[in-house]
A = this chain, B = another copy of it.
Amino acid sequence: MQKKVSIKDIAKHLGVSTALVSYVLNNKEKEARVGPEMAERIRATAKEMNYQPNMIARSLQSGKTRTIGLIVADISNPFFSNIARVIEDEASLNNYTVIFGSSDENAEKSDSLINALIKRQVDALIIAPAEHTEEQLKLLRQQKFPFVLIDRYFNTLDANGVRINNFLASYKAVQHLAKQGYKKICMVAYQTRLPHMQDRKQGFFKAMEELKLPLHEFSLMESSYERIQEDVAAIMQRLLDNKKDRPDSFLFATNSLAINGLKEINKRKLSVPDDLGIISFDESDAFDFFYCPLTYINQSTERIGKEAVRILMNQLEEKPGKTSTDSDTTQLVIDAQLIPRESCGEKKKKR
């Protein structure tokens, strides 16, 4: 690396003080009442010497880095990479950049990620929190560090957040399945105590109850995150190979669960929607290319990302006349839409 040119180099080159250069380059010539010719000369040599301001120095001075830290479960999961893209664009509009990290649903990783990002002085965090991270987040709150949770939340933590109405989304999915004639519904979810997932499970049970659909031992099946492939394979094997008493439909709680589940269904030559009805949360190219396009619950990554950044910006770029305080908290619950396609026999009914 060749030595970078600094404000000092420009000042020396012109025989003026660094202050002058700084004022001009920050367009504060009026405040400092710098002469217009001088200003022009400074700007010219800055360009000529290919001066690039050192944001690190500026950050040390200002205490702000204009950087947002993004922590998700796994950046390679399309749900999160789509959100990341939206956040990138929104942040960019506000002149912020984004550092990211993947927690793998692991509380320790999350903790070290949060610390690493804070040491790097990110101005704020956007977090899809993993299980058992309430304490880390409470500490952040306590320190009044700005952050907003996405996708997930905690009951015991009063914090900014954006999420869908998980309970209702599940509830409606079950209603939809029932309306299409399915009765023995199996929900495949993650084995976790994260409230957003619990809400999905409870919405499921609530709807089953209201519809007076009997529960079976297979009604709720749970997979771990770490061994999703093996777990879902085992679940599907157990349920599908039992010809006598098997579910007639599945509600998958995430795209990854669905993709793993569908692979098992395919292996067994079971036909959707005739043998099995299917609904999944999230989107996936795979859902479009499954021979019977999947009915799914759409979580708008666009809205989640945009709103998360908006909430943060409101907090960071506080106007003088603001009424809210650091202790106020914004929680946005986005209405998730059920997108009916063909995997619950929608096409048949119409015929």
Contact = CB atoms under 8 A, between A and B. Distances in A.
A54 B143 contact: no
Instruction: Give the one of A53, A60, A284 with max B CB within 10 A.
Output: A60
Given A54-B119, A57-B60, A97-B99, A78 B78 contact: yes
Interface stretch (A162-170, A222-230, A288-296): A288-296
Interface string A120-152: 110000000000000000000001111000000
Nearest to A76: B85
Contacts of A102: 85, 88-89
Contacts of A84: 75-76, 81, 100
A115 B52 contact: yes
A325 B257 CA distance: 49
Interface residues of A, number: 53
A84 B81 CA distance: 10
Contacts of A288: 263, 286
Contacts of A285: 259, 284-286
Interface of A: 1-2, 52-57, 59-60, 65, 67, 74-78, 81-82, 84-85, 88-89, 92, 97-102, 115-121, 143-146, 259, 262-263, 266, 284-291
